Structure 1
Amino acid sequence: MNRLQTLFASGKKDLLSIYYTAGYPSLGSTLDIAEALEKAGADFLEIGFPYSDPVADGPTIQHSLQTALDNGMDLHVLFGQLADLRKRVSIPIILMGYVNPVIQYGVAQFCKKAAEVGVDGLIIPDLPMYEYETLYKKDLADNNLSNIILVTPQTSDERIRKIDELSDCFIYLLSSASITGNSLKMSDGLDTYFKRIEDMRLKNPTIVGFGIADRTSYQKACQYNRGAIVGSAFVKFLGENEDYLNKIGEFIGRFK
Structure 2
Amino acid sequence: MKVIKKINNNVAICVDNNNHELIAFGKGIGFPQMPYELTDLNKIDRTYYGVNQNYLGLLDEIPEDIFEISAKIVDYAKGKIMNEVNSNITFTLADHINFAIQRYKKNMVIKMPFSYDMQHLYETEMRIGEVAVKFINKVLEIHLSKDEAVGIALHFINSENMKTVKNGEINENQVISDITSIIEKEFHIEISKKGFNYSRFVSHMQYLLKRKEKDISIISENEKMFEMMKTEYQETYDCVLEIKRYIEEKLGWNPSNEELLYLMLHVNRLCSREDCNR
Give the TM-score taking structure 2 as reference length.
0.23
Give the TM-score taking structure 1 as reference length.
0.25
Higher relative contact order, chain-length normalized (CA < 8 Å, sep 6+): 1
Q: Select the structure of larger CA radius of gyration.
A: 2
Bigger helix share: 2
